[in-house]
Chain A
Amino acid sequence: SQTIHQWPATLVQPVGSPLSLECTVEGTSNPNLYWYRQAAGRGLQLLFYSVGIGQISSEVPQNLSASRPQDRQFILSSKKLLLSDSGFYLCAWTRQGYGYTFGSGTRLTVV
């Protein structure tokens, strides 16, 4: 069966520090991968998606970047965090006909 792992679960980082959130998928190959962010009390905003290794598309201009170094690995990064980067970050994957599966999320607080 397919599983998705996301870590860390919780992160408190100072303003200006770097960020690296990792997401891996098991039990499938060539998935589409997504990073979403959920600000407090709001819906989910798509940040990045990837349809293959090294292929990254950004939905909104921001302080974050994403990379896909391996088929089933998706990384969200920042060189210098801002207060506005705080939120709940969710990774997800899909393949045609499978629907979408989400990770358990990372709660990021920038202080």
Chain B
Amino acid sequence: AQSVTQPDIHITVSEGASLELRCNYSYGATPYLFWYVQSPGQGLQLLLKYFSGDTLVQGIKGFEAEFKRSQSSFNLRKPSVHWSDAAEYFCAVGLIQGAQKLVFGQGTRLTINP
């Protein structure tokens, strides 16, 4: 069965520091990959997506992610975080076949220290 693992439930970084959020997936083929961000009480906003092609994907708000097929990973990075980046981050796998369901990881909560 398809699954997504975000190993870090909660991460705290200082403002201006670099960030990497980990995501590993299990899927029988190359999936569609997504990172979403959720502020408290809000819906999900798409940060970036990978369908095919260049494995380094640029997203909004200065985020990027790299697809590594050999490691089944799609880690999210940002060189310098801002206080406004504090939120919950979800990695997701989009299943290409059938109903194209989206399978989410459990999320990583990011706290920013001033």
Contacts and interface: CB of A to CB of B under 8 A. Distances in A.
A78 interface: no
A51 B42 contact: no
Of B41, B90, B102, B104, which is in contact with the most chain A CB atoms at under 10 Å from its CB? B102
Interface stretch (A12-20, A69-77, A79-87, A93-101): A93-101
Interface of B: 32, 34, 36, 41-46, 49, 51, 90, 92, 94, 99-107
Interface in A18-59: 32, 34, 36, 42-44, 46, 49, 51, 57, 59
Interface residues of A, number: 26
Contact of B43 (A34, A94, A102): A102
Contact of B102 (A57, A88, A96, A100): A100
11 contacts: A49-B99, A57-B99, A90-B44, A94-B100, A99-B46, A100-B34, A101-B46, A102-B43, A103-B43, A105-B42, A107-B41
Indicate the member of B36, B92, B101 with the most A CB atoms within 10 Å: B101
A84 to B, nearest CB: 19
Interface of A: 6, 32, 34, 36, 42-44, 46, 49, 51, 57, 59, 88, 90, 92, 94, 96-97, 99-105, 107
Given A99-B34, A100-B46, A102-B44, A32 B51 contact: no
